[in-house]
Amino acid sequence: MKKIPASILIVDDDLDILVSARIFLKQHFQLVNICQDPKELHEKLTQQETDIVLLDMNYRKGTNDGKEGLYWLKFLQETDPTLIAILMTAYGDVELAVESLKSGATDFILKPWNNEKLLATLTAAWKLRTTSNKLQKAEQVQESLQSDLMGNPSLVVTAGSQAMQGILNTIQKAAPTDANILILGENGTGKQVIAGEIHRLSARAKGVFIHVDLGALHENLFESELFGHAKGAFTDAREDKVGRFELAEGGTLFLDEIGNLPFHLQSKLLHVLQNRTVSRVGENKERRINIRLICATNMPLQKMVRENTFREDLLFRVNTVELVLPPLRERTDDIKPLVNHFLIQFSGKYRKTLTLHKEALDALLQYKWPGNIRELQHVMERAVIMADGEDIREGDLHLSNHKAEGDGLTSTGLDLGSMEQLLIKTALEKHKGNISKAAAELGLTRAALYRRMEKFGI
């Protein structure tokens, strides 16, 4: 018989009870320890990881009020709140049982116990602890994912230039409201980080932050991903699916690259935003939504409205408050603090102790940063990895591989990397930022084009 992988500690002043309980429980559980004096609890818990404590209620002869058990129960909770505690006594006092459960005990058993009842109680307790641990881990993973989705808030704090002060002041005013916010700016200027900061400062901060990259979302999947679908709505709809709008209930929905949304789908998004309801594909039922909407794009939406490629009414709907993030070349005061931030971050990540040489800092300050903060981040990470000594020198930055003015040509005119960068920029400009069309013309998949854009900081 396979044993349950749990560690149990039995605490009782009666050695006969300890021995008999241990003999029985060792047949079913991986580890069973005993303790005759509760004053040794701290030592026992520090010596061996414990999942469940089976705790007697009374230790002094002639006492049966259970106060000692409640005292040590409190001690266990203060020592490790995740421990499962089950109290036991020879006296069937219902009020004492209720008090112990209110004080945090998981269950209560009477002595002498029935072995099957004891085993069932401990098995249920182990399942409870396992479930609790899984939930705790899931919460930690969720918190980590949310942090990744929202970006690094310290980058917002780092931004102290005059060019960013107006942005930060607007965020302080708009974040506590539920106003729709539109964030504009070049790639790499930190639109996702700003969206995360707005969420963090909002009344919905404890809710979820759902990020949807509309530029990477195939138009055939638009309705299913955003609004959800019912089982059987189409060939591959084998079960009901909740859309991103419903997932963001009570929190923030961040629609990134909204400028890439095809014109014929914009009306569907507008309908949802106007009515604050969604209908899953294959359903007629209207589901009310309660979200905070933030959108972002690097596309010139006003120009697109004039060219009839973006709906004016949708633009009015999403930009109650509009934030225009300046490129890094226009906020040079932020370069040095950002460099220091990334130096600390990546030195810790790669376990190095490095300083930035003055010549390297001067080179960073003079560079035009076509890829903005994202490019700076990549340059600093690479520099930390490549640096041999204790200083990061200009040569470690490899800025010569990046054209400051973005003309796409080196002095020889034959640099393949620069030519590839030029072709990508040309295709994106030709197709007004439409990733799908640009990728098709270049003979690339959307994912491959995104990787190259990331590489060149486009």
Residues 384-409 have a mean pLDDT of 72
Band the pLDDT of 98: cuts 50, 70, 90. low
pLDDT range class, residue 364, cuts 50, 70, 90: very high
pLDDT at 149: 55
**Are 282 and 240 contacting, i.e. CB atoms less than 8 angstroms apart?**
no
Average pLDDT value for residue range 143-168: 66
Q: What is the pLDDT of residues 262-273, one digit of tens each?
A: 999 999 999 999
* DSSP result, 189-246: S-HHHHHHHHHHTSTTTTS-EEEEEGGGS-GGGHHHHHHEE-TTSSTT--S-EE-HHH
- Under the banding of pLDDT at 50, 70 and 90, the label for residue 84 is confident
Considering 102-106, 257-261, 440-444, the range whose residues carry the highest mean pLDDT is 257-261
Q: Give the tokens for residue 343.
A: 């130096």
Domains of the chain are: 4-137 (3.40.50.2300), 151-326 (3.40.50.300), 329-456 (1.10.8.60)
In angstroms, what CA-CA distances link 394 with 349, 357, 378, 379? 21, 8, 15, 11
Kindly tell me if the per-residue pLDDT of 200 is higher than 50: yes
C-alpha atoms less than 13 angstroms from C-alpha of 13 in its C-beta half-sphere: 13
Please give the pLDDT value at position 404: 43
Answer whether residue 413 shows pLDDT above 50: no
**Class of residue 456 by CB neighbours under 10 A (exposed 0-12, middle 13-18, buried 19+):** buried
Q: How far apart are CA 171 and CA 181, in angstroms?
A: 10
Which DSSP string do the residues of 278-296 spell out, in sequence order? E--BT----EE---EEEEE
Sequence length of the chain is 458
- Most confident by average pLDDT, 50-59, 98-107, 360-369, 421-430: 360-369
| pLDDT interval class at 185 (50, 70, 90) | very high
pLDDT at 89 over 90: no
How large a percentage of the chain has pLDDT more than 90?
A: 39
The model's confidence at residue 429, banded by pLDDT at 50, 70 and 90, is confident
| Ramachandran sector of residue 229 (left: φ over 0; alpha: ψ -120 to 50; beta: rest) | beta
261 — pLDDT class (breaks 50, 70, 90)? very high
SS3 151: coil
pLDDT(409) > 50: no
Average pLDDT, the chain: 83
**Stretch 128-151: mean pLDDT:** 59
